Structure 1
Amino acid sequence: MRYLPLSDQDRADMLARIGIGSIDDLFADIPEAARLTAPMDLPRRKSELEVERHLSRLAAQNVPASSVPFFIGGGAYKHHVPATVDHLIQRSEFLTSYTPYQPEITQGTLQALFEFQTQIANLTAMDVANASMYDGSTAAAEAVLMAHRVTKRNKAVISGGLHPHYRAVIRTMSELADDTFDILPADPTGAEDILSRIDNETSCVVVQSPSFFGQLIDLKPIAEKAHECGVLLIAVFTEVVSLGLIEPAGTQGADIVVGEGQSLGNPLTFGGPYVGLFATRQKYIRQMPGRLCGETVDADGKRGFVLTLSTREQHIRREKATSNICTNAGLCQLAFTIHMTLLGQTGFEQLAMANHAAAVKLAGMLEGIDGVELLNETFFNEFTLRLKGKDAEAIVDTLADKGIMAGVPVKRIDPVSKDVEDLLVVAATEINTDEDRAAYAAALKEVLA
């Protein structure tokens, strides 16, 4: 029996209450071209065995990142994840844990979240970090909304070096408000003049370092100008391993630091789930989205952990919520924490050094090829090549046919920017060998000849 709890009158009353004429109006923001006008062209029924075989054939068309020379980055990175990480997160008490509403029975979950927050605060040199977000892009969007609340302004200045997907998510999450954006053009060389865009109407300035194009950005002059105008500096990163070598955004004057934590403990997994990182200054803690776990003592004086702040306020005052994020990326956060704990400070710094060294070696080999220009004067483990008049997408596809995953064509991930058709973002990590780098250089030289 179907369960149909609402009558036609119930639905009509609900639509009238929110001020729309029909249920179809709820989908007005979805482009017509993206809407289904008929059932999907799928078989009406298949046996379990038939479905399993069909999906296995489809899966076999994928190329596992570990099976070929792999140099794709652009916000998601292939790193070695110790087997210990997966072994531990598969334990039932971790794998099945849920929101820690009752501290008396969720001490393990709360402690793991507390340790994670401590790691993020230390990495970013910020006062406080929350218990994670969905991913780096939504963390960036939440940071902009938070800045609007803090400053009582609604204009965001967005660097041309910000990841295009982060930029799009920021706009999507803000489009129903009266927010305005000053978005600078794509900045592959790191030469943009963002200081001149900051004024007394600005709420926040959003800068990524290393940028989408791999450039390292000095945040100190930006922070100084921002603070003169009462503006918050939001520092973004997509490669958390870079924090093992680069000066933390907190010591450079950032007010909010957000980024993606996928590189530690989490494989690529076709783009998710990932884990968003969010840290800020103590004075802004009440405006921070997500939840915050704290350390305390129980009635017997023993160490314990509690859910200190939950700014969604889903328990008591939802109308005063600062965010609608309803949980954290718990299992991904735990994987991050385990991997970071296994590395320790020294190991993390050594991992960062190995990544930078791998990128330096690769950049040196590729920029010597005719028709290739390295656009970066600075980079961590990712840099941008100009393939001088060539279509970067076509080059990447050709190299893929040769078994080389050569990088991210900028036009593929940023279809709206101009003059980026020949730009290729290349990432190198600790997984790349000398043989991988040699194979890439030889194949690219052959394709460009």
Structure 2
Amino acid sequence: MAFYSPHTDQEIKEMLLEIGAKSIEELFRQIPEDARLKKDLNLPAGIPEPKVEAELRRLSGKNQACSDLLCFAGGGVYRHYVPKAVDYLLSRSEFSTAYTPYQPEASQGTLQAIFEFQTMIAELTGMEVANASMYDGGEAVAEAVLMSQRVSKNPDGSILVSEGLHPHYRRVIETYTRHLEFPKKTIPLTSNGQLDLDALKKIDDGYCLVVQHPNYFGCLEQMDELAGLVKEKGWILVVAVVEALSMALLEPPGNFGAGIVAGEAQSFGIHPGFGGPLLGFFASKMDWVRKMPGRLVGETRDAEGRRGFVLTLATREQHIRRAKATSNICTNHSLMALAATIYLSLLGKQGLVKLAKINLERAHYLREKIRASKNLKLYFSAPVFNEMTLKLGRDAEEVVKELAKEKILAGVPLKHHFPQMQDALLITVTEMNDEEQIDLLVDKLEKVGGNKK
């Protein structure tokens, strides 16, 4: 490991003398004793690079890629087809960075790509302004909760969160607000899988309502009625969108009164590799733009009247406002935002709608097969887009493990997040699943996990 430690013993001694420290250990004196490791790391001896590569290949051979399986897993990360042009353009050296450009005179291409991303997200969500992207959907929704408090007329009210919001997103919200003393309430779902509006009507102390649409169980919410109730209460409606493709068909959240729309855009040209990388998006009203988190790219004109792009409204941000910034996110996810921009540009408006319809049609094909089955049941009756929850006749995780042996990734067992749903399996159908594959899945589920009558 010597070549990873560029300083000689003499150089280290001179540096310690210069800063007035007696030892390297003294540099870490601020770390509490009970937080320090009290044993050696016991790392193995170094080995040549070819052997490292061979060992990594051996270990990776234990993995099963989606391309080798019939994949029906979703629940926040989705397998859609990614055109080859996306990966090729993404690999160009001019773009291969995840960082936000600070020098507009040297970064017009990257800034324009981010500006186009913002424009596309604003159009899809029906909102007036979108930022340059966030790290992932969970962070974007948590930031939406914090921003809602900044713009709310009732900032001392409760955070109201739908039970249908992705469990990971709920945990991120909890992490972000844990020490802020914001009261939080979870709004239950009805037996058909939609938000319980009657329960919501009984609450008067909220400042924002966070609703996922379609929700984690795949159900479409009653957004018109829900939005009307939120407006009547004077709350801010935060709509979380986890399957971004759904926005190509569903009414844009901005059209029914959403204050903030935030979520995950991984479906737009990003491969589902070990659960990432992901791409958060964030859109809101122009009136609240100075309260938004994250970078914003704006269009301008230079001294000669030529169109150009710059980072704008930067006084909201951490490198200027420090502790008073709207967020501690100091960059964006440029490379993934570029992937989404290329993907959406390649498909175009009509192509995106066509793709969304294919997802919808195949999901409904699966739904009808389940309804016709003697052994399988749907957990909820509400309409769906491309996901649905099945009620099996046994533990869902056991079923998933059995079908994995036959190279079928049947879905996501829900018992880890919802212990009362031991028999629940969340299934996703995209354009990557044809009717023959759906038929095979239903046949296997009937044999392995069906409700025996």
Does TM, scored on the shorter chain, surpass 0.5? yes
Partner of 1:24: 32
CA distance in 2: counterparts of 1:233 and 1:287, whole angstroms:
16
Q: Which amino acid aligns with 1:139?
A: A
1:143–1:234: 8 Å Cα contact kept in structure 2? Answer: yes
Name which of 401, 406, 412 aligns with 2:410.
Answer: 406
Alignment pair present for 1:149 and 2:150:
yes
In the TM superposition, 1:66-215 aligns within 5 A as: 66-96=67-97, 98-151=99-152, 152-153=155-156, 155-185=158-188, 189-194=192-197, 196-197=199-200, 199-215=203-219
CA distance in 1: counterparts of 2:223 and 2:26, whole angstroms:
53
CA distance in 1: counterparts of 2:33 and 2:314, whole angstroms:
32
1:335 deviates by 0.3
Aligned residue for 1:169, secondary structure, equals helix
Partner of 1:30: none
Partner of 1:378: 383
1:141–1:173: 8 Å Cα contact kept in structure 2? Answer: yes
Alignment pair present for 1:230 and 2:240:
no
After superposition, what is the alpha-carbon deviation per residue over 1:287-328, rounded to whole angstroms, capped at 9, x for unaligned?
A: 110011110110000101110123652332213201010111
1:237 deviates by 1.1
Partner of 2:356: 352
Q: Which moved more, 1:273-282 or 1:38-47?
A: 38-47
CA distance in 1: counterparts of 2:187 and 2:104, whole angstroms:
46
Q: Which amino acid aligns with 2:53?
A: E
1:372 deviates by 1.6
CA distance in 1: counterparts of 2:313 and 2:272, whole angstroms:
31
Q: Which moved more, 1:152-161 or 1:277-286?
A: 152-161
1:130–1:291: 8 Å Cα contact kept in structure 2? Answer: yes
Over 3 Å counting, the alpha-carbon distance change for 1:229 and 1:442 in structure 2 is closer
Alignment pair present for 1:422 and 2:423:
yes
Alignment pair present for 1:328 and 2:329:
no
- Please say which structure displays the higher CA radius of gyration: 2
Partner of 2:290: 286
1:219–1:253: 8 Å Cα contact kept in structure 2? Answer: no
Q: Which amino acid aligns with 2:339?
A: A
1:291–1:311: 8 Å Cα contact kept in structure 2? Answer: no
Aligned residue for 2:80, secondary structure, equals coil
1:220–1:252: 8 Å Cα contact kept in structure 2? Answer: yes
Alignment pair present for 1:396 and 2:400:
yes
Aligned residue for 2:251, secondary structure, equals coil
In the alignment, structure 2 segments of 5+ residues that lack a partner are 1-6
In the TM superposition, 1:211-222 aligns within 5 A as: 211-222=215-226
Aligned length: 432
Aligned residue for 1:92, secondary structure, equals coil
Q: Which amino acid aligns with 2:156?
A: R
Aligned residue for 1:351, secondary structure, equals helix
Partner of 1:61: 62
Q: Which amino acid aligns with 1:356?
A: L
1:189–1:376: 8 Å Cα contact kept in structure 2? Answer: yes
Over 3 Å counting, the alpha-carbon distance change for 1:36 and 1:447 in structure 2 is farther
Q: RMSD across aligned C-alpha pairs, in angstroms? A: 2.5
CA distance in 2: counterparts of 1:195 and 1:10, whole angstroms:
62
2:131–2:295: 8 Å Cα contact kept in structure 1? Answer: yes
CA distance in 2: counterparts of 1:104 and 1:147, whole angstroms:
35
2:115–2:297: 8 Å Cα contact kept in structure 1? Answer: yes
Over 3 Å counting, the alpha-carbon distance change for 1:53 and 1:287 in structure 2 is same
In the alignment, structure 1 segments of 5+ residues that lack a partner are 16-21, 28-34
Over 3 Å counting, the alpha-carbon distance change for 1:54 and 1:360 in structure 2 is same
CA distance in 2: counterparts of 1:172 and 1:53, whole angstroms:
40
CA distance in 2: counterparts of 1:224 and 1:25, whole angstroms:
55
Q: Which amino acid aligns with 1:359?
A: A
CA distance in 2: counterparts of 1:6 and 1:425, whole angstroms:
60
CA distance in 2: counterparts of 1:443 and 1:211, whole angstroms:
26
Over 3 Å counting, the alpha-carbon distance change for 1:269 and 1:155 in structure 2 is same
1:352 deviates by 0.2
